Amino acid sequence: MKKILYIILLFISSKSFATTVGPNEQYFLVHDYHDDWQVYNDRMKAYIPYISEQHLGHPSHTVFCDIQSNRGYNILVYAQKDDNFLFINGSLRQKIPVGKWIVLNVDSLYRAYEQPVIYITLYGSNDIEDKKLMLGYKRSLNQKPIVLAESGITAKPRTPAPYRNYIVLVSMFILVFFSYLSNSYVRAFQRYFNLKDLFNTFARDQSSLINNPLNRMNVMFIILLSLIISLFYMLLQSKDINIFGGRTILQEGDTLGILLSNYFRMTLAVFVLMVIKYFFIGVVGQLFNLEKIVDLHYFKIVQASSLFYSALVLLLSILFMQYLPNDFNWQAYLFTPIVAFYLIRVFILYSTIIRGIPKQNLYLISYLCIVEILPVILGIRFAI
């Protein structure tokens, strides 16, 4: 059914005849990857779009192919010069014969690699025009040429189903948890998710919300924050942005079960780090004789992070569910707002804490440098 619908879509999309490609022109052209080439950037440790003015000397050209959505078709490989080699997911498959087509059945590739997207690399010639990579549909011998009509319809790639289902399920779980906390801990919820209170530098009543950072009520909000941060991390993982060596605790694979398992593993890791953070600032606070402000400091951390990451994850989830180009540079657009958030958080902490200690206390800046600025610097160092 899917192949029939795609042929109908081709039928109504242009006035010209359907393009035939491949050996003996036995295949209808479904997609030409000519404009999808990417090259590996050693400095960024990532694949970036091929730009002819910048990458003329590169012998290696790569395309990411969605084989899950294109089952039933064939990938066609062609090279005009000698000494070109075909790699799939970084492994050598074969040498490409000069002037001859290689036909790769997408169904066979999907069964062999068991993943929705693979990357195909053609290594050899520096001239990208010597290489061709296309997606084709084999026509019947008695099939007549298809005359196409003009239409404004365009096809957009869809987000792979496992990721889409995973994001929906996790988002619903977080929403239910949000609802539970907002009804069970009304005053605490209103305090944590209050932008005005965040920027209020006058410390309010020292209730159990602040004085007992690890009581049952506060732990529930720390768990919520861990769930949100973990979803943010997994969204980055889905776009191949690997930070902090998360692969060491995550399973390989893109099935719904593995994604959910990885998500809850990451949630546990974030929760443990949040608890360690509290004991860390407690130890440093004792060293600087600032024990009285440790609980307020930790509350402000959780409050600021909950507001920021909730807004960020909501935005990213919406963008992820919509179409974004494959070369969208997530890392470049996310780096600046995240660093800005942590700098603003340090300023809020300083403005709040300074009012609760003697003005002659000169240790506050050193204390904040150790527990806030130094972790941010180290985080940037290991994240990029």
| Whether residue 253 is found in the same domain as residue 375 | yes
What's the CA gap between 30 and 33, in Å, rounded?
10
Q: In angstroms, what CA-CA distances link 46 with 43, 116, 123, 239, 319?
A: 8, 19, 17, 11, 21
Q: 78 lies in a domain?
A: yes
Report if residue 354 sits inside a domain.
Answer: yes
Percent of all residues in the chain with a pLDDT value above 90, rounded to a whole number: 26
Residues 105 and 215 in one domain: no
CATH code assigned at 59? 2.60.120
End-to-end CA distance of the chain: 45
Q: What is the pLDDT of residues 28-83, one digit of tens each?
A: 888 889 888 899 887 777 888 888 777 777 888 999 999 988 888 899 999 988 88
> Is residue 363, in this structure, part of any structural domain at all?
yes
pLDDT band per the 50, 70, 90 thresholds, residue 368 = confident
Domain with 70, as residue range(s), is 18-138
Q: Specify whether 191 is located in the same domain as 323.
A: yes
Sorted by sequence, the CB contacts under 8 Å of residue 321 that are 6+ apart come out as 159, 164, 167
* Same-domain pairing of 172 and 310: yes
Q: Are both 133 and 165 inside the same structural domain?
A: no
User: Is 112 or 231 the better-scoring residue by pLDDT?
Assistant: 231
If asked whether residues 330 and 181 sit together in one domain, one would say yes
For residue 58, being part of any structural domain is answered with yes
Q: What tens digit of pLDDT does each residue of 82-97 get?
A: 889 999 988 888 899 9
**Would you state the pLDDT for residue 69?**
85
Residue 203 DSSP code:
-
What is the C-alpha separation between 202 and 212, in angstroms, rounded? 19
Asked if 61 and 199 sit in the same domain, the reply is: no
Determine the Cα–Cα distance for residues 27 and 137; give it in Å rounded to an integer: 5
Task: Report, in angstroms and rounded to the nearest whole number, the Rg of the chain calculated over CA atoms.
Answer: 27
Is 13 domain-assigned? no
Report the amino acid identity of residue 163.
Answer: Y
Residue of 338, 354, 343 whose CA lies nearest to 296: 354
Domain boundary at 106, 138, 170, which? 138
Query: Number of structural domains, the chain?
Result: 2
User: In this predicted structure, what is the pLDDT of residue 177?
Assistant: 94
**172 and 52, same structural domain?**
no
pTM above 0.75, yes or no: no
Compute the distance between CA of residue 123 and CA of residue 131 in angstroms, rounded to an integer.
Answer: 9
> Is 4 part of any domain?
no
* Nearest alpha-carbon partner for 309 in 267, 264, 272, 279: 267
317 belongs to a structural domain = yes
Task: Please check whether residues 120 and 191 belong to one and the same domain.
Answer: no
Q: Mark whether 64 and 172 lie in a shared domain.
A: no
pLDDT band at 157 (very low <50, low <70, confident <90, very high): very low
Strand, coil or helix: what is 105? strand
Residue 335 within any structural domain of the chain: yes
pLDDT for the residue 374 = 87
